[in-house]
Amino acid sequence: KAGVTQTPRYLIKTRGQQVTLSCSPISGHRSVSWYQQTPGQGLQFLFEYFSETQRNKGNFPGRFSGRQFSNSRSEMNVSTLELGDSALYLCASSPWEQPNNSPLHFGNGTRLTVT
Amino acid sequence: SQQGEEDPQALSIQEGENATMNCSYKTSINNLQWYRQNSGRGLVHLILIRSNEREKHSGRLRVTLDTSKKSSSLLITASRAADTASYFCATDPDDGAQKLVFGQGTRLTINP
Q: CB B53: neighbour CB atoms within 10 A?
A: 14
**Taking 90 as the threshold, does the pLDDT of residue A94 lie above it?**
yes
For position A37, what pLDDT does the model report?
Answer: 96
Comparing CB atoms, the residue among A35, A56, A104 nearest residue B45 is A104
For position B97, what pLDDT does the model report?
Answer: 67
For position B3, what pLDDT does the model report?
Answer: 60
Residue A6 pairs in a beta bridge with A23
Q: How far from the centroid of its chain's Cα atoms is residue B56's Cα?
A: 12
Q: What is the mean pLDDT of residues A62-85?
A: 97
For position B13, what pLDDT does the model report?
Answer: 97
Q: What is the DSSP string of A23-44?
A: EEPPTT--EEEEEEEETTTEEE
pLDDT under 50 in chain B at which residues?
A: 1-2
Q: How far from the centroid of its chain's Cα atoms is residue B9's Cα?
A: 12
Contact B42 A90 (CB under 8 A): yes
Contact A42 B42 (CB under 8 A): no
Q: What is the mean pLDDT of residues A47-69?
A: 94
